[in-house]
Amino acid sequence: TQLLEQSPQFLSIQEGENLTVYCNSSSVFSSLQWYRQEPGEGPVLLVTVVTGGEVKKLKRLTFQFGDARKDSSLHITAAQPGDTGLYLCAGGPGYSTLTFGKGTMLLVSP
């Protein structure tokens, strides 16, 4: 069974601060996906990273896939209250189902 460890579990910051959350595993993944989940809703895909070392940017969010395809990070620049939510990483071998991490709960206060 592939396991994904996310850190930190919880992060509370002020508007305008920068932050990084991490997603680590001892297994190699074909790809890693990042989702954001808001209260009362299902997760929504933010990005998929496929190539080792790949960096993708989505406005103030920067996603990186590790060179060995075992880890990934999400960096948010100048966080805003609208970034509040549960951030989940998920990985799979490519041919089967996804394994989800436990998530990082981010609270951004005005």
Partner 1 sequence: NAGVTQTPKFRILKIGQSMTLQCAQDMNHNYMYWYRQDPGMGLKLIYYSVGAGITDKGEVPNGYNVSRSTTEDFPLRLELAAPSQTSVYFCASSGPGSNQPQHFGDGTRLSIL
Q: Which of 7, 8, 9, 77 binds partner 1 (CB under 8 A)?
A: 9
Q: How far apart are CA 77 and CA 15, in angstroms?
A: 10
Residue pointed to by tokens 């805003």: 80
Binding of residue 22 to partner 1 (CB under 8 A) = no
SS3 category, 20: strand
Q: How far apart are CA 54 and CA 68, in angstroms?
A: 11
Binding of residue 19 to partner 1 (CB under 8 A) = no
CB of 24 to partner 1, least distance (A): 14
- Total residues contacting partner 1 by CB under 8 A comes to 27
Q: Which of 59, 82, 94, 110 binds partner 1 (CB under 8 A)?
A: 94
